[in-house]
Structure 1
Amino acid sequence: MIKKIIIFLLVLGVSYIISLLLDSYLRKQIFDLYKWTTKNKIIFTGKGFYFFPSICFVISFTISLSILVLNLINNKHQVIKNIILWFIIFIFSTIIISAIHANILVIECTSCESGIRKISYYKVKYGLILAISSFLSLTPIFFNFLKGENNRRNNLVSKQV
């Protein structure tokens, strides 16, 4: 039992460090996605200086990565499949959420000069976008968990009959 607790704390700590390291890189990628998906109709103004990482992203990404790693420890036969699926869902959900929000910002602008919207860096809630993406990437793991629970429940019922 103590071994499992130590492994969990180790995984949590490494996940936290990874989320801190990825914060600024993913923030920049989201700003680039906003520009790219609107064909440069969004211009960011002000200073894009963030002293601290987004707490929302750090907590959600740490939890998501910890759940992924702990699931991989328990299901050794689906390691590659789960990692690739988690990564693909994370990337696609980030792109889709960013594209939808960026285009909504451009569409709702009625007084923009030649269709170009100027917004502050702080208008984009990148931490929330990444938090939603990290939790959406866990859906296959939750479905596998629910499927496993149903199989256990069916096995118990069949043993009782």
Structure 2
Amino acid sequence: MSQGPLRVNGRDCAVQAAAGTSLLTVLRNDLGLNGPKYGCGLGQCGACTVLVDGVAARSCALPVEGVAGREVTTLEGLGTRDALHPVQQAFVATQAAQCGYCLNGMVMTTVALLRRTPQPTEAQARAALSHNLCRCGTHLEILAAVQAAAQAMAERA
């Protein structure tokens, strides 16, 4: 049994989990955070993406003990219903979701991209999101959301 504080969305959370338990399992089952989704369980689809110290990471393939002492941010930690994060707002404004299953990964990956590249080209956005799967085909709207978020964040600065 692995035990210890886990820092999620700015809060310390006491967690008990067997060694090797995925971060995704703890986030969803123990902490009740439903932003990250279970997709493939292999770290290949991106639905489970969270930020670990600001870097996009696949929580289904990351053992919970691997994030000890690090800051984990989920979709729920970005903004609130009344004050969405600029990336969340851009995805809403551009109608970048259909079924919404990939949305968590797309948003979290976009947040990480804009932290390291505040004004990405379309090619940079495509490359950053290339490992996030979307079956509904809203790729053009997603790319528009990335650019809209970049612009909104630049205007805020």
Pairwise same-fold verdict (TM > 0.5):
no
Structure number, greater radius of gyration: 1
**Larger relative contact order (Cα-Cα within 8 Å, sequence gap ≥ 6):** 1
* TM-score using structure 1 length: 0.30
Higher helix share: 1
